[in-house]
Amino acid sequence: MDYNKAALELHSKFPGKIAVQSLCECKDRDALSTAYTPGVAEPCRKIKANPDDVYTYTMKGRTVAVVTNGTAVLGLGNIGPEAGLPVMEGKCVLFKEFGGVDAFPICLNAKTKEEVIAAVKAIAPTFGGINLEDIRSPECFEIEAELERDLDIPVFHDDQHGTAIIVLAGVLNALKVVGKRLEDVKIVQNGPGAAGTAIIKMLQVAGAPAASKCIACGICVKACPMEVLEIRES
């Protein structure tokens, strides 16, 4: 199958891959006045009195923001927020189709980590979680760390932790096939970066020998927590 051709046809059909759907019908005055003004003022008052009620009366608790600035999209590199939008839409499709979670793509015209952090903090009240996606290193580490520290909702950098989860699952299942234990094998990680760093951390937490380290060329060293790396001169 020619996936490139099929993808262009799919993406241009609607266009895009996601849409906003109303959960309530507004076919008469009473329905409209309940969904919007004047009735909508009552849940506003409830949330003002008890901020946690935002999870009862709004979409916040079931909605995730998929956030990128387009600086490290797939294998395409720094292609910008607009060109990264199809990938973010696709991630939203995965959230909905496989997790039943509503997700919305947020593609930021933000060049610095400070701009990304400020933008995500500004939109955080709308969402129940933040999925960071395709943001270059080392900024991705620092962005995630600050957002995790300052926000009261989950923050997840997919390129790090999503990849690490899948790699760990693959390694564990492969070891079952060959009858070996994670504690007894030697694991080589070639190239740290965002995904590689998280993979090594995840493997070590799962029981891989503590001596397992990344072997870095030096280019990505600043992007990685130093305790994860073993630097070797080539």
- The tokens of 153 are what? 């909702």
CATH 3.40.50.10380 domain range(s) in the chain: 59-153
87 contacts 74 by C-beta, under 8 angstroms: yes
Catalytic sites, residue numbers: 36, 91
Q: Give CA separation, 162 vs 75, 158, 194, 198, in Å.
A: 16, 5, 11, 9
Of residues 158 and 218, more confidence is placed in 158
Buried b (16+ CB within 10 A) or exposed e, 128-138: bbbbbbbbbbb
Radius of gyration of the chain (CA): 22
H-state helical runs in the chain: 3-13, 29-35, 41-49, 54-57, 80-99, 113-123, 139-150, 163-178, 193-206
Two tokens, residue 75: 């294998």
Q: What is the pLDDT of residues 74-127, one digit of tens each?
A: 889 999 999 999 999 999 999 999 999 999 999 999 989 999 999 999 999 999
Letter string b/e over residues 170-197, b meaning 16 or more CB atoms within 10 A of that residue's CB: ebeeeeeeeeeebeeeebebeebbbbbb
All residues at 6 or more sequence positions from 57 whose CB lies less than 8 Å from its CB, including other chains: 43, 46, 47
Q: Crossing angle, helix 139-150 and helix 113-123, to 10 degrees? A: 30
pLDDT tier, 216 (very low <50, low <70, confident <90, very high otherwise): low
Residue 21 has φ and ψ, to the nearest 5°, of -120, 130
Q: Kindly report whether the peptide bond that precedes residue 51 is cis, defined as omega within 30 degrees of 0.
A: no
Instruction: State pTM to two decimals.
Output: 0.85
**Per-residue pLDDT at 208 exceeds 80:** yes
15 pLDDT more than 80: yes
**Which pLDDT does position 214 carry in this prediction?**
57
Q: What class does CATH assign to 59-153?
A: alpha beta
